[in-house]
Chains A and B, each alone.
Chain A
Amino acid sequence: MKKVLVAAMALALVAGGASLAMAAPTISSGIVGSPHDFSADMPGSTGADGTWNTTGEICRVCHSPHDKGRSTYKGSGVGLLWNHDVSSATYTLYTSDDIPAGDIGQPVGNAKLCLGCHDGTVGIDSFDNHTALGSAPTNAVKIGSGTDPFAEVALRIGGVDGTNGNTLAGTHPISADYPVLASDPATRGFNDPTAKTWADGELVSDTLENGMVQCATCHDVHSRESVAPATGGENYLLRQAQTVAQGGTASGLCLTCHNK
């Protein structure tokens, strides 16, 4: 009887494994029409989200091919033809008894770029050379405040306490090394990032920045490598589905890295 039970359980596991492997969420189609396509937010357009994107371009909100000496290449060490103001905020960091003190510092690299809008301290319209275009940035269209749809507090990472207190204490650690050394006890509980892939086939290690977990490790800002949202749902630009409804498996995102 015991043997039969064990065999049945093994079969169930195999079947479960097979269904996990078969789950293939649809990959989203790109920046055009995605949550980061602000081309409709230009004056005189039909966009509902405001009129702060002066020329209605998509890429220019974050990148510029020539900065005309504005010295806006603010992502020092990041490049990316960065064209948007970045936050000067100092954040309360995420702490956990399981993470040695000092392992997580102030956000660096790509994460700084995301926080340029998503910490709610810098205007979304603080990009490019507004003054030359005859419209100085109001620095008023901020995530989590103001009068338009960007007032959505859920999009504001650092201010999740509702006081805009720039705290990252309630959000997954960023700018933190992914534990990869075999000698590092912290590797227990983590999958090998050079062996695990996201939904579009990209290696987890390719989505680390200098070995660090960043916002971009889970989220694809351009909606090109992320999972397409289910009908009527949102995908939060995630690189792997979190639910069956999103075309994947339960907590598929977390379990890509976390070996639980």
Chain B
Amino acid sequence: MKIFVSLIVQFILALCVSGVALAGPPAVFGTGIVGSVHDFSRASWNPEALSYKGEICNVCHAPHDGGRKTYKAGLLWNRQLSSSTYIMYDKSWSPGITHAQDSQPTGNSKLCLSCHDGSLAIDAFGSYPGTGWRMWDENTNKVIPRFKDAAGSLDMHGTHPISVTYAAPGGGTAKGFKPATNTWPGGLTIADTLQNGKVQCSTCHDVHDTPGEVVPGTQLLRAGLTAKQGGASALCLTCHDK
């Protein structure tokens, strides 16, 4: 009996200790693009054998475009952009959306979608036409909202709205939303992660796994989703005042 009680006490103690550990912030944040999920320098489709490949940055950016005219959105962009038309997650789908939204994805989100909508070859960048290796071949779960459904449409009804104006871009408040001055665990404000005041993919995700800005073990998220990652639903509750 005594042993049983002592076991229970130990169990409770263990729970308490783990509880303390869970409550703490993540000790290490993102460690940078090198070795991150977006470091393709060793990807089979980006071989060093080709003189202009085997790089990290070149997959998305080029210091000089060699007259290819892919400078579509600044950022020394080095990829073709998808010409797809998407079914947007907008107020016609979710009437609670009352803020201005672009009718199609804009800004940084277009850049993400150049791979993540599954319509373009990942290895088509720079002057290289690619082999047709698409996100579907890489990892079907990374094709954002299972874009290519049976109808061949690009349906975003299953994914968070993008290219939509944040409720309080000026730092003021709006019902249901935190002020844009609220900060992510890494220190940036919400406003810092909006683009022209709009929520884009990059508002939640940091593509470069920038040191100090990404919670490890997540999908390049700026805040965690679980207690182990720094707080239950912390990501959502950074913006949503619920």
Contacts and interface: CB of A to CB of B under 8 A. Distances in A.
A10 to B, nearest CB: 38
A79 interface: yes
Nearest to B224: A57
B158 A66 contact: yes
Contacts of B160: 65-66, 81
Interface residues on A, range: 20 to 34
For A59, A78, A209, A210, the residue with the greatest tally of chain B CB atoms inside 10 Å of its CB is: A59
A78 B204 contact: no
B150 to A, nearest CB: 10
B96 A79 contact: yes
A198 interface: no
Contact of B94 (A57, A68, A78): A78
Contact of B146 (A58, A63, A69, A81): A69
A68 B232 CA distance: 21
Interface string B85-103: 0000100011111000000
A77 B93 CA distance: 5
Contacts of A219: none
A26 B161 CA distance: 33
Contact of B226 (A46, A57, A67, A222): A57
A31 interface: yes
A68 B241 CA distance: 25
Interface string A52-70: 0001111110011111111
A47 B236 CA distance: 22
Contact of B95 (A30, A69, A73, A79): A79
A32 B237 contact: yes
Nearest to B204: A65
Q: Is the interface of B mostly helix, strand, loop or mixed?
A: loop
B93 A68 contact: no
A130 B160 CA distance: 20
Interface in B1-20: 15, 18-19
B192 to A, nearest CB: 20
B125 to A, nearest CB: 25
Contacts of B145: 66-69
A31 B242 contact: yes
Contacts of B143: 69
Interface residues of B, number: 32
Contact of A80 (B94, B144, B232, B241): B94
Contacts of A68: 141, 145-146, 158
A79 B159 CA distance: 10
A196 B218 CA distance: 45
Nearest to B228: A56
A56 B226 contact: yes
Contacts of A66: 144-145, 158-160
A55 B89 contact: no
A109 to B, nearest CB: 9
B9 to A, nearest CB: 14
Contacts of B237: 31-32, 58-59
Contacts of A79: 89, 93-97, 157
A71 interface: yes
Contact of B227 (A39, A71, A77): A39
A47 to B, nearest CB: 11
Nearest to A61: B233
Contacts of B96: 79-80
B225 A57 contact: yes
A77 B94 CA distance: 6
B227 A73 contact: no
Contacts of A210: 95
9 contacts: A56-B227, A57-B233, A59-B233, A64-B158, A65-B236, A66-B144, A66-B145, A69-B143, A69-B149
Nearest 7 A/B pairs, CB to CB: A79-B94, A69-B146, A67-B158, A39-B232, A58-B233, A222-B242, A65-B160
